[in-house]
Amino acid sequence: MKNILVLCTGNSCRSQMMHGYLQKLAGKKARVYSAGIETHGVNSNAIAVMKEDDVDISQHTSNHIDEYRDVDFDLVITVCDHARENCPWFPSDAQRFHHSFEDPASFKGKPEEVMAKFREVRDTIRNYSAHFVNKYL
């Protein structure tokens, strides 16, 4: 079983959504963790759009990377440029991956426009996660 870490800036949206998809798609092939270089709490819009796709992340917590210093990760995925550039170093032989997803929480607009952006990013993350699981697990 592989240990996968999904890393983002605040561990509130993108990393949480990918955590949910990887956990669902990988099944017993992996233990999935997500963390941030900061913690911002799990975004309620992320929870809502994932629920629409039958993935429940409502019990996830926003975790700081320091909480996982003792976990031996096999795969680490950064999902934003800021996290990749500012992540504190931690000892690991993990294979590293990077894909910068747009931050839906930074989008401004009417509530329905914001939710449309969350769905767009969610769908991009779902597709990336499915490809990742098929290729690396």
Indicate which residues carry an active-site annotation. 8, 80, 87
| CA angle at 83 for the pair 80 and 84, rounded to the nearest 5° | 85
Residue 11 near residue 87, CB atoms below 8 Å: no
In the block, residue with structure tokens 């975004």: 43
User: Parallel, antiparallel, or unpaired: how do β-strands 95-98 and 30-36 relate?
Assistant: unpaired
Instruction: Measure Cα distances from 75 to 23, 27, 48, 51, 53 in Å.
Output: 14, 16, 27, 26, 25
Give the closest residue to 137 by CA, choosing from 53, 21, 7, 11: 21
- H or E element at residue 6: strand 2-8
